[in-house]
Amino acid sequence: MRLQLSPELEAFREEMRTFFTTQVPQEIRDTVAARRHVSKDQYVEAQRALNAAGLAVPHWPVEWGGKDWTPLQRHIWREEMQLASVPEPLAFNTSMIGPVLAQFGNQEQKERYLAKTANLDIWWCQGFSEPDAGSDLASLRTTAVRDGDDWIVNGQKTWTTLGQHADWIFCLCRTDPTAEKKQRGISLLLFPMDTPGVTLRPIELLDGSFEVNEVFFEDVRVPAENLVGEENQGWTIAKFLLGNERVGIARVGTTKSYLALAKELARETTVGGRTLLDDPRMAGRIAEVENELLALELTALRVVANSADGRPHPASSVLKLRGSELQQAATELLVDIAGPLSLASYADGGSDVPDWARVTVPEYLNYRKVSIYGGSNEVQRTIIAGTILGL
């Protein structure tokens, strides 16, 4: 048991901090810090800056641009990136399809996609969920039927995040409707979003943002070579992908920077002759969330240190569960610090309400999503009860 980082890791942390705070354009980091809309170009620019320095996909195999880092180094990398308000490399590329292709793809697919995926030359979106297949993903109904050298895809996906920016989709399709277990008849296909027969319909979210979409497939023709892994192996791949998705989802660094902001804003808000930070109830709320976040960070460090074999530790469900709750708690604090000013969400010129206060409620409402996606918190409880407690 030892608290301090080794001198090498201390230096590593400093190196990461310096890189993120000096090599990623300030304007992009300011956008993230102010919780304003990050544009497609900004995502691409930020990820390319990271990739140029070899910092976009450190968790990939070294052969494909990864670094031979320890889990602790990856943790530090992620945390420093979040603390510096750097937009994280696109999860669909770097945490989802990249590792999947590195693990299950054939050589040709690896060569064709991986470098472009790391550099965000290809923007991927995730075609898993459907209107009737949410938590029960295996009940998905989008079909792919073999026709000569092609697959013909029909059906619908939904909740497709940033599908409007996407060049390609990785899409779970039912390829064997007769399989006795529904998990057995699923395959993973890749195809461009501009393939004839693909249409996209945006869904407006509660905060007025457009970040998710419905995607419809009508006789979409996909070359057979775009199948990843074996036919009907899609469920195994999906489980691998979802396991990776949970790692790093605690977003401790992001919540930390939110709390730092909450303190700053509470200090600037004066009510009845004293600042909100001097209000014992508000100070207590912030201190309590901060302590929970410390406990989460320490748990992440503990779990990270114990998952050396590359497989996610079962306790990583704790990270997703509590990590999402604390992100939500932080956004709630910001709303409460804004108080009545939080009503002015759509104020424009001519309003005295500061920008930070305007975005609080839209963000708070938007963040309800974090306990729903990535395996809802109920799904995480099911995993804890089943695989850890044996219930």
Ligand X SMILES: Cc1cc2nc3c(=O)[nH]c(=O)nc-3n(C[C@H](O)[C@H](O)[C@H](O)COP(=O)(O)OP(=O)(O)OC[C@H]3O[C@@H](n4cnc5c(N)ncnc54)[C@H](O)[C@@H]3O)c2cc1C
Residues designated catalytic: 245
CA distances for 325 relative to 254, 368, 382, angstroms: 13, 9, 17
Alpha-carbon distance of 365 to 186, in angstroms, equals 34
Rg (CA), the chain: 22
Tell me which residues in 183-242 interact with ligand X (CB under 6 A). Answer: 212
Would you state the structure tokens that stand for residue 334, as one six-digit string?
A: 């910001």
C-beta of 293 vs 341, nearer to other proteins = 293
Distance from C-alpha of 92 to C-alpha of 65, rounded to nearest angstrom? 17
Indicate whether 1 belongs to the interface with other proteins (CB under 8 A): yes
- Alpha carbon distance 246, 250 (integer Å): 8
For residue 267, state whether it binds other proteins (rule: CB under 8 A).
yes
267 binds, options ligand X, other proteins, none, Cβ within 5 to 8 A by partner type = other proteins
Specify the residue, 113 or 367, whose C-beta has the smaller distance to ligand X.
367
Q: How far apart are CA 327 and CA 58, in angstroms?
A: 25
Instruction: Classify 171 as helix, strand or coil.
Output: strand
DSSP state at residue 203: E
- Count of CB atoms situated within 10 Å of the CB of 242: 16
**Of these, 26, 39, 139, 291, which contacts other proteins (CB under 8 A)?**
291
Report the residue number, 30 or 278, with the smaller CB distance to other proteins: 278
Q: Which tokens in the block code for residue 199?
A: 């249409």
Q: Across-strand partners of 145?
A: 152
Residues 54-83 that bind other proteins (CB under 8 A): 72, 83
Q: Which residues pair with 274 in a beta bridge?
A: 271
CB of residue 323 to other proteins, shortest distance in Å: 11
Enumerate residues 94-123 that contact ligand X by CB under 6 A: none
58 vs 163, beta carbon nearer ligand X: 163
Residues in contact with ligand X, shown as a per-residue x/- string from 152 to 181 under the rule CB under 6 A:
-------xxx--------------------
Q: Does residue 263 interact with other proteins by CB under 8 A?
A: yes
Question: In the set 85, 299, 327, 331, which binds other proteins (CB under 8 A)?
Answer: 299
Q: Name the residue type at position 194.
A: D
With CB cut-offs between 5 and 8 Å by kind, which of other proteins, ligand X, none does residue 305 bind? other proteins
Binding site for ligand X (CB under 6 A): 126, 128-129, 134-135, 159-161, 212, 369, 372-373, 376, 378, 382
